Amino acid sequence: MAEAEIRLRRTFVALYGSQRGREATAEALAYGWEHWAKVRRMANPTGYLFRVGQSRTRSRKTPVVFTRPEDKDPWCEPALDNALSTLSDRQRIAVVLVHGFGWTMHEVAELTGIKVTTVQTHLNRGLAHLRAALEVTDRV
């Protein structure tokens, strides 16, 4: 459960934003704890709990909000939070988990239940959208 918590929290925060992401993680972990005998026998328990967290927080339609610390020195591009919020959910998950947290595309695919090639497509489209939104033309 400890390993699943980290992966779920990072994914849900990337998907829904800070507050709702933590709520989805808590919902998924509560379900996993309550139904541990069933969940632990599954081939992909983290992926199952990801779906549980999604379904339990689905009814709330709130915008994704990415907040920055109140530090005067930005830790990243100041416009990145707004640009990330314009991506589709799957594009945002792929970009944040692969480039933000260093996950492999296989890990993202396993967690979300989609093919690795689909993750690659979402990643490429998300990065292209971010480059256009941030007016970046050079790849470093």
Q: What is the pLDDT of residues 26-52, one digit of tens each?
A: 999 999 999 989 998 999 999 999 999
pTM for the structure as a whole: 0.56
Domain count, the chain: 2
Measured distance CA(81)–CA(67) in Å, rounded: 7
**Residue ranges of the chain with pLDDT lower than 70?**
59-76, 138-140
Distance CA 87, CA 74 (A): 21
CB 119 within 8 A of CB 126: no
Domain span including residue 115: 77-140
In this structure, the answer to whether residues 84 and 129 fall within a common structural domain is yes
Inter-CA distances, 68 with 7, 86, 100, Å: 21, 17, 15
Q: How many beta carbons lie within 10 A of that of residue 131, not counting itself?
A: 14
Say what the pLDDT of residue 79 is. Answer: 81
Residue 44 falls inside a structural domain: yes
Residues counted in the chain = 140
Task: Please report the pLDDT score of residue 3 as a whole number.
Answer: 82
Q: What CATH code is carried by the domain that includes residue 139?
A: 1.10.10.10
pLDDT for 87? 92
Q: Which long-range contacts (CB under 8 A, 24 or more apart) does 21-25 make?
A: 23/57, 24/53, 24/54, 24/56, 24/57, 25/53
Contact 59, 66 (CB under 8 A): no
φ/ψ of residue 58, rounded to 5: -65, -35
Check whether residue 97 and residue 53 sit in a common domain.
no
